[in-house]
Chains A and B, each alone.
Chain A
Amino acid sequence: MEPGQLYRKAAIVGVAESDLGRVPGKSKFQLSAEASKAALDEAGLTKDDVDGVFTTIITEGGQFSSMMMAEYMGIRPRYTDSTSIGGSSFVAYVEHAAMAIATGLCEVALICHGSTNISDRGGRAGPVSGAATVFGPAQFEEPYGVSTVGSYALAAQRHMHEYGTTSAQLAEIAVATRKWASMNPKALMRDPITIDDVLNSRMIASPLHLLDCCLVTDAGGAVVLTSMERAKDLKKRPVAVLGTGEAHTHRMISQMPDLTETAAKISGKLAFERAGVSHGDIDVAEIYDSFTITVLLTLESLGFCKKGEGGAFVSGQRTAPGGDFPMNTQGGALSYTHPGMFGIFTVIEAVRQLRGECGPRQVEGAELALANGTGGVLSSTGTIILGRE
């Protein structure tokens, strides 16, 4: 059977966030469970309908994530998935869940995530580990002071070297994303910023400035899928899973085959082929923006522009409200929320745009949306294309 035949059989029927921002009184488990409850409520389902659980927690207390979260919510699934490829996991779960539903392995899939990144870590975008000694291949990076921002900075520097990309072009992304955030009451950072604001913000790891970097927040999110047949009887207009792809190319940044190209080159191609649509058909794109450079590399790797032309592509506020490429319409990880793994929020916003629920930030007539998650250090990607039914 061709993978393409398994699409359009599963639909997203519920999406929700938990409390966002700084939520000191709640554990990451509670945030994940509260988002799950809200997403199920929205669909008109209960936890007892859930027979597939998809989650990962990469921080303390998250071992055996799907067992742990299912137990926490009193769910006993017959399909389980703790795939742990970083922030893209939750986009990849949409592929896994859609396949499990299409083949009858489960009927109601719950994808959930919770994180107390700001409450736990005091906001530092911090070390890969706090350990005194490092076991495993990471011992070839951590003693040199590697960090998440440092890793992405290496990619940015290389892209600038090869293609002449500028800090001002990267700043275009941060500025446009903030404009979208200003229209989202749930976004943490809503005051407008300028390209100069980005360029004048503190240098964290050259060439990335503070405002090139995502927020660090607490947040939970959840997505519920079921069969298209069952979806028709539920409360929300179903959003069909039309095509998906996932890929990874490395774990550590020093092992990345090409610092200027992400696995989205693979996952994006698969998603477009399986959905049977082309780039020009996409009405709205939700691209994981851990850093401005993440977006630029992803747009090129997905094929929205040629390699090396990402800087020109995002110039002139093209991705801002009113631009011809609406992107990260909830305000993204740069301005809305970022709990360490943002992938699930790209799915949530894509679904809301396709339902027409986004109020002032609604992209008029959005029928096809693309969401792309990136995980690790530009290591893994999940790409999905969703459509209004």
Chain B
Amino acid sequence: MTQIPLPRPYQDTAAYWEAAKAHRFIIQKCRDCGAHQHYPRGVCSHCLSSALDWVDASGDATVYSFSVNYRAPHPGFKDQTPFVLAIVELAEGPRMMTNIVDCDPETVTIGMPVTVAFDDVTEDVTLPKFRPKA
């Protein structure tokens, strides 16, 4: 089975992926302007401060948009189709790309409340995904 493309952690992102592996979902918060951001960067994209803290995110989000994908964009996704590609809006504000899992793809709607669900795709890599909030 072909592996899906996996993240190669780097300076900006290593802490995020380490936390995900431990089933913690963290995002960045700027000490200077107070804004949250995702994806992780070396500076705050709101004010360019380098004073960023990692904070635990609530894991709560709503679906901002989604698409049921019937074609695998990479051989690694062949056994996952159809899968739900989505952008969710985190309770803290930032949006992120993810998959909506643990539900019938046809039942996903915009505005649906979802919560983080960790997918251990390999021994080393865990992807934060989202499932409908119970």
Residues of A within 8 A of B (CB): 125-137, 139-147, 149-150, 153-158, 161, 202-208, 252-255, 259
Contact = CB atoms under 8 A, between A and B. Distances in A.
Nearest to B16: A140
A157 B65 CA distance: 6
B5 A143 contact: yes
Interface in B19-56: 38-39
A83 B34 CA distance: 34
B1 to A, nearest CB: 13
Contacts of B87: 154, 253-254, 259
Contacts of A204: 69-71
B62 interface: no
Interface residues of A: mostly helix, strand, loop or mixed? mixed
Contacts of B5: 127, 129-134, 142-143
Contacts of A146: 73, 85, 97
B65 A150 contact: no
Nearest to A206: B68
A283 B123 CA distance: 60
A150 B8 CA distance: 22
Contacts of A205: 67-71, 85
Interface residues of B, number: 39
Contacts of B97: 140-141, 144, 146, 252-254
A135 B99 contact: no
Given A143-B6, A154-B67, 15 more contacts: A133-B8, A135-B8, A135-B10, A139-B7, A139-B9, A140-B13, A143-B4, A145-B77, A145-B85, A153-B85, A158-B65, A202-B70, A205-B70, A206-B70, A254-B97
Contacts of B10: 135-136
Contacts of A150: 67, 69, 73, 85
A126 B71 CA distance: 9
Interface in B68-127: 68-74, 77, 80, 83, 85-87, 95-99, 110-111, 121, 125, 127
Contact of B98 (A134, A144, A207): A144
A294 to B, nearest CB: 15
Contacts of B127: 143-144
A208 to B, nearest CB: 8
A161 B8 contact: no
A154 B66 contact: yes
